């Protein structure tokens, strides 16, 4: 492909992009194109009408003149008493010369030519140098040879007296008889229409130039009008983008009292109302966050006292009657759950306040996985589930906050055990040069796509009637999502009713790396290039949590 083609394609792409993005450009171009089409149509119609009117007027004049002249000289040749060749030749020359017209606009010339197949008495005689019978149309010559009337046809004159080449003309012809044998000859007169053609060309040029000037004026008017309308809209769009970016103090400059000015006033009023509401919501959010944080802190001291009392009662429960013994056990379990909920609320309040920080260091993901599995082993044994770990590497080092990653893994494993229905839970660890992934796969009740889309919401439960085995707070997966976001990692979920669920955590090996893919497919075992194609209809994997490029790998 040559450079010209490449440049042309670039220009076309820029024009297409400008066409999509600019209302003013589209309006001006559409106006110019429509005006051009209208100008061409009107100009063509006017030019045709002018040419037809001028031609019809002149044709009637030429036809009358030619008829009179040809009829007159047809009688001259018929009534001539010439007998010798010289006299006949002089008669022909005088007649042809006399037929020449001196009209400066459309000069007339004459030709006398023998009819094909007849005896040649006098050779072709023309009043114009270089004019021959060969320039006359064949159908005109055939009509003259076969009939006695006067016939006409448009012609193309090779060279006129003024030097024009291939000039337009019109020819009239009739058959005459040369004395003394009444030999049939063809007598023609033709008119040079080059001057008329020049007039028509001039009129067309004037129409074309006028149309071009009018087109430029209309384009300028369309540009000015659309600019006066589009510019305030563009300005409003710019201000709205700044408002969306958080610059709530931005306002439109308003001048005048027209519709655009009223639009600006309404826009500024709307922006002011939005700013007030956003400020109120921000203040309310801060108050709520402060309230949760303060209440959580204030509850820690009495909760600690209640926990100590519950532990004393729980340790002494063997000395109680069955009812009090059961009450002491329930009290101890609920106090533990309350303490876990309080800790989660404190952690969520730190995330909401933006106070959570990442303390990244080199950690071994495989070791963290084993540590999390060891912590969840009592629950797995109580539920009768087997936890299986599959790793392609014995050690995998990444830059991460070990405490937060361990919390994410514990939440995922406990969640899989709770919903695994005593079936095995598989943990798959894999890595590539840029990322490390851990997938926790259970084979229990699974999730629908709608449930998977809400699984990371705070306090959300897929089945409100289903009791939690561990009495969790309902904030575990939400906290895991926030922990993953701090690492700029992906935390994604997949589910299939009756076939289980899978949660995948994908971490960048080093801080600052932007994730583009995951080493582990979702769910594990599917092709990494297209998991959606492997999943049955109605059970597409839901990509949630962290990561704008949360695609199914």
**Three-state secondary structure along 233-287?**
HHHHHHHHHHHHCCCCCCCCCCCCCCHHHHHHHHHHHHHHHHHHHHHHHHHHHHH
Split at pLDDT 50, 70, 90, the class of 526 is: low
Residue 409 has a pLDDT of 92
Model confidence at 497: pLDDT above 80: yes
By three-state DSSP, how is residue 92 classified? helix
Model confidence at 466: pLDDT above 80: no
Q: For residue 156, which phi and psi values (nearest 5 degrees)?
A: -120, 115
Average pLDDT estimate for 17-29: 82
* Summary count for the chain: helices (H), strands (E): 11, 12
C-beta separation of 493 from 503 below 8 A: yes
The encoded tokens of residue 53 equal: 């009117």
Model confidence at 495: pLDDT above 50: yes
> What is the maximum alpha-carbon separation in the chain?
167
Instruction: Show the domains of the chain with their CATH numbers.
Output: 81-195 (3.30.450), 358-508 (3.30.565.10)
Model confidence at 231: pLDDT above 70: yes
Tally of CB atoms within 10 A around 193: 26
The encoded tokens of residue 369 equal: 């996985």
Place of tokens 């309404």: 266
Using DSSP bridges, classify how beta strands 425-431 and 387-391 pair: parallel, antiparallel or unpaired. parallel
Model confidence at 529: pLDDT above 50: no
Of the candidates 406, 419, 339, the residue with the CA atom closest to the CA atom of residue 379: 419
Split at pLDDT 50, 70, 90, the class of 288 is: low
Q: State which H helix or E strand residue 192 sits in.
A: strand 183-192
By three-state DSSP, how is residue 117 classified? coil
What is the crossing angle of helices 259-315 and 322-352, to 10°? 150
Residue 462 has a pLDDT of 61
Per-residue pLDDT tens for 366-408? 999 999 998 888 888 888 899 999 888 888 889 998 888 988 9
Residue 530 has a pLDDT of 28
Residues shown for the chain: 553
Distance CA 44, CA 40 (A): 6
Residue 504 has a pLDDT of 93
Instruction: Specify whether the backbone of 384 is left (phi greater than 0), alpha (psi in -120 to 50) or beta.
Output: left
Per-residue pLDDT tens for 248-287? 788 887 877 777 788 888 888 888 888 888 888 777 767 7
Higher pLDDT, 381 or 532: 381
> Distance from first CA to last CA of the chain, Å, rounded?
37
Distance CA 474, CA 458 (A): 6
Distance CA 101, CA 218 (A): 48
Residue 155 has a pLDDT of 92
The gap from C-alpha 442 to its chain's centroid, in whole angstroms, comes to 43
Model confidence at 480: pLDDT above 60: yes
Using DSSP bridges, classify how beta strands 361-364 and 125-126 pair: parallel, antiparallel or unpaired. unpaired
Model confidence at 533: pLDDT above 50: no
Higher pLDDT, 27 or 303: 27
Residue 352 has a pLDDT of 66
Model confidence at 107: pLDDT above 60: yes
Higher pLDDT, 137 or 468: 137
- pTM of structure: 0.47
Model confidence at 357: pLDDT above 90: no
Residue 391's DSSP bridge partners are 429
C-beta separation of 495 from 522 below 8 A: no
Find the range with the poorest average confidence among 101-105, 353-357, 391-395: 353-357
Residue 117 has a pLDDT of 63
Model confidence at 550: pLDDT above 50: no
C-alpha distances in angstroms, 81 versus 84, 86, 180, 246, 268? 10, 13, 7, 113, 107
Of the candidates 147, 159, 156, the residue with the CA atom closest to the CA atom of residue 70: 147
The encoded tokens of residue 210 equal: 């006028």
C-beta separation of 544 from 434 below 8 A: no
DSSP structural state of residue 61: H
Higher pLDDT, 101 or 533: 101
Per-residue pLDDT tens for 59-74? 888 999 999 999 999 8
Instruction: Specify whether the backbone of 525 is left (phi greater than 0), alpha (psi in -120 to 50) or beta.
Output: left
Split at pLDDT 50, 70, 90, the class of 50 is: confident
Split at pLDDT 50, 70, 90, the class of 428 is: very high
Residue 469 has a pLDDT of 46
Residue 441 has a pLDDT of 92
Split at pLDDT 50, 70, 90, the class of 447 is: confident
Split at pLDDT 50, 70, 90, the class of 223 is: confident
Residue 472 has a pLDDT of 54
Model confidence at 1: pLDDT above 60: no
Model confidence at 205: pLDDT above 60: yes
What's 340-409 look like in SS3?
Answer: HHHHHHHHHHHHHCCCCCCCCEEEEHHHHHHHHHHHHHHHHHHHCCCEEEEECCCCCEEEECHHHHHHHH
Residue 551 has a pLDDT of 37
C-beta separation of 36 from 215 below 8 A: yes
Split at pLDDT 50, 70, 90, the class of 345 is: low
C-alpha distances in angstroms, 174 versus 147, 263, 287, 329? 8, 81, 112, 133
Split at pLDDT 50, 70, 90, the class of 528 is: very low
The encoded tokens of residue 401 equal: 């906050």
Place of tokens 């400059």: 253
Average pLDDT, the chain: 81
DSSP structural state of residue 529: T
Find the range with the poorest average confidence among 32-41, 329-338, 366-375, 501-510: 329-338
**Residue 210 neighbours by CB under 8 Å, 6+ apart:** none
Distance CA 520, CA 517 (A): 9
Of the candidates 447, 544, 452, 551, the residue with the CA atom closest to the CA atom of residue 496: 447
DSSP structural state of residue 511: T
């Amino acid at each position: 492909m040559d450079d010209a083609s490449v440049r042309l394609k670039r220009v076309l792409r820029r024009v297409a992009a400008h066409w999509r993005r600019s209302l003013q450009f589209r309006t001006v171009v559409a106006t110019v194109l429509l005006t051009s089409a209208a100008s061409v149509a009107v100009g063509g119609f006017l030019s045709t009408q002018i040419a037809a009117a001028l031609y019809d007027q002149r044709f009637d004049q030429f036809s009358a003149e030619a008829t009179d002249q040809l009829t007159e000289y047809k009688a001259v040749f018929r009534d001539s008493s010439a007998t010798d060749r010289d006299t006949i030749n002089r008669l022909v020359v005088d007649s042809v010369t006399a037929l020449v017209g001196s009209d400066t606009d459309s000069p007339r010339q004459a030709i006398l030519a023998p009819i094909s197949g007849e005896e040649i008495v006098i050779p072709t005689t023309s009043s114009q140098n270089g004019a021959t019978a060969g320039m006359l149309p064949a159908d005109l010559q055939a009509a003259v040879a076969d009939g006695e009337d006067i016939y006409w046809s448009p012609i193309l004159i090779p060279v006129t007296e003024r030097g024009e080449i291939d000039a337009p003309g019109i020819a009239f012809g009739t058959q005459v008889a040369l004395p003394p044998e009444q030999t049939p000859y063809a007598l023609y007169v033709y008119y040079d229409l080059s001057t008329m053609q020049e007039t028509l060309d001039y009129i067309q040029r004037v129409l074309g130039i006028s149309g071009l000037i009018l087109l430029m004026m209309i384009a300028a008017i369309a540009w000015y009008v659309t600019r006066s309308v589009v510019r305030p809209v563009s300005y409003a769009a710019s201000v709205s983008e700044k408002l969306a970016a958080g610059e709530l103090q931005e306002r439109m400059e308003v001048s005048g009292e027209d519709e655009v000015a009223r639009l600006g006033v309404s826009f500024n009023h709307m922006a002011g109302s939005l700013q007030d509401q956003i400020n109120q919501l921000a203040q309310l959010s801060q108050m709520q966050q402060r309230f949760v944080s303060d209440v959580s802190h204030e509850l820690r001291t009495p909760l600690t006292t209640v926990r100590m009392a519950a532990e004393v009662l729980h340790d002494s429960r063997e000395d109680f009657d069955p009812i009090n013994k059961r009450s002491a056990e329930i009290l101890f379990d609920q106090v533990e759950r309350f303490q876990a909920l309080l800790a989660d609320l404190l952690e969520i309040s730190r995330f909401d306040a933006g106070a959570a920080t990442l303390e990244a260091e080199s950690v071994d993901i495989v070791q963290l996985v084993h540590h999390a599995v060891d912590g969840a082993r009592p629950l797995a044994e109580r539920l009768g589930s087997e936890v299986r770990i599959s790793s392609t590497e014995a050690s995998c080092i990444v830059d991460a906050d070990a405490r937060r990653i361990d919390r994410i893994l514990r939440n995922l494993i406990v969640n899989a055990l709770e919903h695994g229905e005593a079936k095995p839970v598989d943990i798959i660890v894999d890595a590539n040069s840029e990322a490390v992934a851990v997938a926790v796969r259970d084979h229990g009740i699974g999730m629908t796509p709608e449930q998977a889309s809400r699984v990371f919401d705070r306090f959300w439960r897929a089945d409100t009637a289903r009791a939690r085995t561990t009495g969790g707070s309902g904030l575990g997966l939400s906290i895991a999502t926030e922990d993953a976001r701090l690492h700029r990692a992906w935390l994604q979920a997949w589910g299939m009713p009756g076939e289980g669920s899978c949660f995948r955590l994908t971490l960048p090996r080093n801080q600052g790396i932007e994730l583009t893919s995951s080493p582990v497919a979702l769910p594990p075992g599917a092709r990494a290039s297209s998991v959606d194609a492997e999943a049955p209809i109605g059970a597409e994997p839901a990509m949630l949590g962290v990561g704008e490029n949360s695609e199914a790998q």
